[in-house]
Amino acid sequence: MDKLLKPDGADSHQDPQAARRRDNGPPGEFAGLPDIVDLVMEMGCPSRSPAHLEALVETAKDYAKAASSENTRDAYTKDFSHYSSWCRRNGFEPLPPEVQTIGLYISACASGTAAGEPKRGIPALSVATIERRLSGLAWNFTQRGFSLDRADRHIATVLAGIRRKHAEPPRQKEAVLGDDIKAMIATLGHDLRGLRDRAILLLGFAGGLRRSEIVGLDVVRDDKSDGAGWIEIFADKGVLVTLRGKTGWREVEVGRGSSDFSCPVVALETWIRLGRIARGPLFRRIFKDNKTVDVERLSDKHVARLVKQTALAAGVRSDLPEAERALLFSGHSLRAGLASSADIEERYVQKQLGHASAEMTRKYQRQRDRFRTNLTKASGL
């Protein structure tokens, strides 16, 4: 590979640009990964000076970053950082990966000792979190040229024991239904912030959208590099939402409602008009004066806070104690709510939510279908 990297008669190890690239490589997620120039050369690229590949290097890095979402990369980076810290405290090397070490690590996570001795207020990780962390570690190892065999007995057997001993029923967020949404938007004001939040709730509910999908929308197509999709408003039909998902692009149709008060399209049109938004992010931050719309995209955390605050203010599930109610609602309540509210054919709900399998859709329809069939009476009791 050295011959490919150096001009005739030159020593690649004396190339100052190559040295700078090695010494001053980008920190963070690419730290410790193979130099992309080396990878390009290994693919049989014609002999050229690395200086001529700088633009291509940056392009390749951009494509590599685009392979996963920013939230996913951040989570995977934190996973590897946590694992590396645990290894250092216990005298292990994080690389190359050793299955015995991984088995000990997930045992520590399950027993609440991954951060050291068990401490009050630092709970053990759930089974779902441990499994997600294993996925994050596998991704990090792959990026560094290693592989992790999760089927190895040192990992698989320990994980099976963790599932058997610590697994709990899934904790699903409460689905907000159609009447709940109407009560929630009734708690909002008619200023800019209220108009924006009303559009967020109604569009998120009617479209069955994730909170990241809601805030990732742009007003027009291909407007922002950090956008996750865009909208098209049809005067007589509704809104067509185009989203970039994990497996490609998909379209979500949001029709007009029976009342302007609860119509997601009317709410969206009002927000765009009064917010004077022609391009860029659809949902944005608003300055404290509540009169000026920022150019910055809204954080997806705002959607979670908005759902929780309005659900509590509207008295949704008022039969429960306040502290318990506060834990029930999140941005996911909108997505689950559509499936639980709409008494329509399963295949249409599946398409709207973008589920690959009907089984996943049925999990979302938990509240709608609960006690629908009474087998006790059907059996003659």
Tell me the per-residue pLDDT of 96-118, one tens digit each, with 9 for 90 and over.
999 999 999 999 999 888 776 55
Domain 178-368, second-level architecture: Orthogonal Bundle (1.10)
Q: Domain 70-166: give its CATH superfamily.
A: Tyrosine recombinase, N-terminal domain (1.10.150.130)
335: closest CA among 315, 313, 355, 316?
355
Confidence band, pLDDT 50/70/90 cuts, at residue 368: low
Q: Mean pLDDT, to the nearest integer, of 34-39?
A: 49
Query: Could you give the count of Cα atoms lying within 13 Å of 41 in the half-sphere of its Cβ?
Result: 18
What does the domain layout of the chain look like in residue ranges?
2-66, 70-166, 178-368
In this prediction, residue 40 carries a pLDDT of: 47
66: Cβ–Cβ under 8 A, 6 or more apart, which residues?
none
Q: Give percent of the chain with pLDDT exceeding 70.
A: 77
Most confident region among 6-10, 44-48, 220-224, 255-259 by mean pLDDT:
255-259
In this prediction, residue 65 carries a pLDDT of: 76
